[in-house]
Amino acid sequence: MASSKLPQSASEAALTDPVRYPVSASSPVRTKRGFVLVLLTLLVPGSAQLVAGNRKLGRAALRVTLCVWAALVLAVLLLLLNRPLLINIITNSLASLVIVILLVALAAGWAILFINTLRLIRPVLLAPPARPVVVISLVLAMVLGSGTLGYAAYLLNVGRNAIGSIFSAGPAIDPVEGRYNFLMMGGDAGDDRTGRRTDSLSVLSVDAETGQTAIISVPRNLQNAQFSEDSPMRAIYPDGYDCGDACLINAINTEVTNEHADLYPGVPDPGAQATLEAVSGTLGITVQAYVLVDMEGFSKLIDAMGGIRIKAGGWVPISGETIDEANGIHGMPLGWIPAGDQTLDGYTALWYGRSREFVDDYARIQRQQCVQQAMLKQLDPGTLLAKFEEIANAGTKVVDSNISSSQLGSFVDLAMKAKGQDIKRLTIGPPDFDASFSTVPNFDVIHTRVDQLLASASEAESAGLPDDAMVVPSAGGGHLQAAPVRYPAAPLPAGGTPAQQSPPAQQSPPAPASDFTPVTTTPDGEPITEAMLNELKSQGNEQAIRELVATNGQCAPL
């Protein structure tokens, strides 16, 4: 008799379990049970099914959950111990496709678990006031969990497509003398042009270990550019790109595209490759890769970043229609970018970097360097994550690059190392050389100056020297001192060496690039305004405008 009552009591106890059998539970317990099941599905997918539903489904889901947690732990370890490898895995075309598929499958599976959890909750058993609260909580949890995975898969696919559009599948490059040298070209890629006119040429030289970066700007009007020894164009121009005033370095891209593409069989962009070789030979370094960005892509990228912040030294015009191209004369400006602290959107940043009205080309180069520095400084991980889709889509406007996608991990890691470090700068023109230097350049002097710049970067950092200081040997005993270096356009004297043209090391160190006061008033103290500048333009008094905006090459990122 006793033995017959025991099974009955156990059965009755099981049926009163409120987790698996909520029918016998009170209304508050049912509500609490519903919230707990939602929380279990969100935090430990499969656990709700294990305790209150289909245990087979729950065990399978828990195995998947544990595998995902293990993968996350491995990813964190790689992030801490081998960040480039983790980035290379994510950016690899095949690996990223597999990850996208897995994320979509996980998102769908998690959504199924949430729907199954809703069935386990049995909303009809809940008190009427609690039903919408529990159901809404489940929907929000599903959006937070499954929706986040789906969105991550979408963003990863956006990045995967952008990487495939921007970067090449070619071989990886090795550092040369411990540095990676990238040629950044700003080109006009209009539909009516054959071969892009590269009006902006800068080399970003990055230390392969520390990320210490130097920017070397080459003026578009440099003459007699030297092709590197391995360049096919050296056979045509053995003594340099010298055919008169038309042979400026920015014309190489168009000439090679139109006339010498056969010298570069299998090269996707012969003009860009030839320009890279000319910059390599001119600077006396090996430039391993290039990125060519058209103006539209530049503008869209800055807009995607949310703009850039700078301190502008003087007013910069947004030039109107060209009236006299030979003399650089334009009609009434479409607007002005004021001096002082500014946040520039893509359109104004584009004009800030390209405008050269009322000033020379070298003021424009200084502003271009500043814009590049501001982008490097302000494209932080937070901005990248918050605006990833916009930045990735804008990045597809990069017209051409021969950087291998297989090295993105290493280069992103270098970019992170470079954050916060001073960027050294050199311009093959004012303020580092005389204005006439680009017409009759002395390449021995250029090579010496570039070597000094790259050698000084790490030494200047360890010595605490200001940004833009040049480290040169002192005359006395080989010690390093900071001194401004300004080379004349004259050729070397007979029997002379480039080092003999260095200035005395006793000169005072230059002020940091950001140590200037924006010019916002006339010499009489009257505030400079857009109306004032436009009135001078309408009067034809361009000389007065030149005097008021003469400092617009001064710029510093904020």
- Mind listing the pLDDT tens digit for each residue in 158-214? 877 777 666 666 667 788 888 889 888 876 544 444 445 666 788 988 888 888 888
Distance CA 159, CA 303 (A): 18
**HEC profile of 160-203:** HHHHHHHCECCCCCCCECCEEEEEEEEEECCCCCCCCEEEEEEE
Report the mean per-residue pLDDT for the chain. Answer: 78
What is the predicted pLDDT for the residue at 114?
A: 95
CATH no., domain 181-288+399-489+498-506: 3.30.420.590
User: Does the pTM of the predicted model rise above 0.75?
Assistant: no
pLDDT profile of the chain (558 residues), mean per 10? 46 61 84 92 92 90 94 91 81 86 95 94 89 93 93 86 68 82 73 56 86 86 90 91 80 88 88 92 91 75 85 90 70 90 90 85 81 75 64 63 72 73 82 85 92 74 40 30 38 35 34 73 90 90 89 88
What is the predicted pLDDT for the residue at 315?
A: 92
- Mind listing the pLDDT tens digit for each residue in 31-52? 999 999 999 999 999 999 998 8
Whether the Cβ atoms of residue 346 and residue 374 lie closer than 8 Å to each other: no
> Phi and psi (nearest 5°) for 239?
-100, 15
Distance CA 490, CA 442 (A): 8
Domain ranges of the chain: 16-166, 181-288+399-489+498-506, 307-386+519-558
Taken as a whole, the chain contains a residue count of 558
What is the predicted pLDDT for the residue at 381?
A: 58
What is the predicted pLDDT for the residue at 105?
A: 95
What is the predicted pLDDT for the residue at 283?
A: 94
Taking the mean position of all CA atoms in its chain, how far away is CA 448?
Answer: 30
What is the predicted pLDDT for the residue at 392?
A: 67
Whether the Cβ atoms of residue 172 and residue 406 lie closer than 8 Å to each other: yes
Contacts of 258 (CB under 8 A, 6+ apart): 194, 195
Distance CA 146, CA 167 (A): 31
- Mind listing the pLDDT tens digit for each residue in 470-483? 333 332 222 223 33
DSSP bridge pairs for 424: 214
Q: Where are the alpha helices (DSSP H) in 53-194?
A: 55-81, 83-91, 93-121, 130-142, 148-166
